[in-house]
Structure 1
Amino acid sequence: MKVPEDLVLVGYISGAYGLNGWVRVRPYSADADALLTAKTWWLDKPEFHDVEMMQSKIHTGDVVAKLMGVAGRDAAEALKGATVQIPRSHFPALSDNEFYWVDLIGLEVENLQGEHLGQVSDMMDNGAHPILRVAVPQAAETTDPKAAPQELLIPFVEQFVITVDRTAKKITVDWGLDY
């Protein structure tokens, strides 16, 4: 099978589950719907290959799954540490104003005054809500500890995030340059 161009890293195999060849997957997102619905997974162990996901379910925060060709606990344990990727095109559809984090990374961020704040480099979750990690462009290298930050952490909540325009690749926030 040809390797899809839109693969997204969604988790890793943390070990075997039971005796019948099921694997335990630690998802990189609290919402594991993509792992549960995608019928083909791409693993990087023993070499990069696709595998059919036959059955899956949530179990204590992880996803446990039966993969085609994985028969028995030893075969499942041999996959421990393998990363799991699935095509972005196989993610479940979202409703309006819902976003997959992978779709936000790389978007430009500007504030209500039209000032460019930077580009989303990553997302993280602090337990209360997601946070945009925005890489701030630096005009010049400096050793001054009071210089502008190299990264902004902006809560991804309605109070601060005004619009997300994936077509224009831009997020507008109510956030100042000096916050």
Structure 2
Amino acid sequence: MKVFSYTEPRDNILNYKKWLLKKGDQTLLVKPIDGQIQGKGVIAQIDGITDRDEAVALMGWDVHIRHEDLPAPEEGEYYWTDLIGLDVENLEGFQLGKVDSLIETGANDVLVVKGERELAVPFLQGQTVKSIDLATGKMIVDWDADF
């Protein structure tokens, strides 16, 4: 089956022993057993999927990796999924909102913070991002609330 992978490099998706497929409220745990890059995607063979009709039935499902199957991040590194939902406040203690999503721009990632209004804050650790505390669910940023 064809898979579009957001991993870097693209075929890293094949390194995970289990995939959690999601579509709406449905979930399905599957095991990829083989695969390779093909064009801008990856083709994968899934254990138990033996014909084209079974593969077609999985079209439109999103591939997720369970958090416990991810390798632990290095010190100072974070999975985007761990940052989403963090409370964001600036150096003055003003609540800017919560991390809603992140955008990869090439130069640096950008935090989309939603509060009274939506802000785009560059994810530059040590510059705009001063601290991240996953235990308390808080991020401190050097960012003007009116910017």
Partner of 1:40: 18
Partner of 1:154: 121
Partner of 2:135: 167
SS in 2 for 1:127: coil
Partner of 1:26: 4
* Structure 1 stretch displaced more, 102-111 or 122-131: 122-131
Tell me, in whole angstroms, the C-alpha distance in 2 between the residues paired with 1:61 and 1:100.
23
Tell me, in whole angstroms, the C-alpha distance in 2 between the residues paired with 1:33 and 1:168.
34
**What is the deviation of 1:56?**
4.0
1:113-163 superposed Cα distances (whole Å, 9 cap, x missing partner)? 2221111111112232211111113xxxxxxxxxxxx10100111321111
**What is the deviation of 1:30?**
4.6
**What is the deviation of 1:94?**
1.1
Gaps of 5+ in 2: none
Residue 109 (str. 1) matches residue 88 (str. 2): yes
Change in CA separation of 1:151 and 1:33 when aligned onto 2, cut-off 3 Å? farther
> Is 1:54–1:68's contact at 8 Å kept on the other side of the alignment?
yes
Gaps of 5+ in 1: 1-22, 138-149
Tell me, in whole angstroms, the C-alpha distance in 1 between the residues paired with 2:39 and 2:133.
35
Q: Aligned residue pairs: how many?
A: 144
Partner of 1:140: none
Alignment match of 1:49 (pick from 8, 12, 28): 28
**1:1-179 to 2 correspondences below 5 Å:** 23-28=1-6, 30=8, 35-44=13-22, 48-137=27-116, 150-158=117-125, 159-179=127-147
Tell me, in whole angstroms, the C-alpha distance in 2 between the residues paired with 1:34 and 1:168.
31
Give the AA of the match of 2:3. V
SS in 2 for 1:48: strand
Structure with greater Cα Rg: 1
Tell me, in whole angstroms, the C-alpha distance in 1 between the residues paired with 2:131 and 2:22.
37
> Is 1:112–1:172's contact at 8 Å kept on the other side of the alignment?
yes
Q: What is the TM-score normalised by the length of structure 2?
A: 0.82
**What is the deviation of 1:174?**
0.7
Percent identity, aligned pairs only? 38
Give the AA of the match of 1:129. N
Q: What is the TM-score normalised by the length of structure 1?
A: 0.69
> Is 2:7–2:13's contact at 8 Å kept on the other side of the alignment?
no
**RMSD across aligned positions (CA):** 2.4
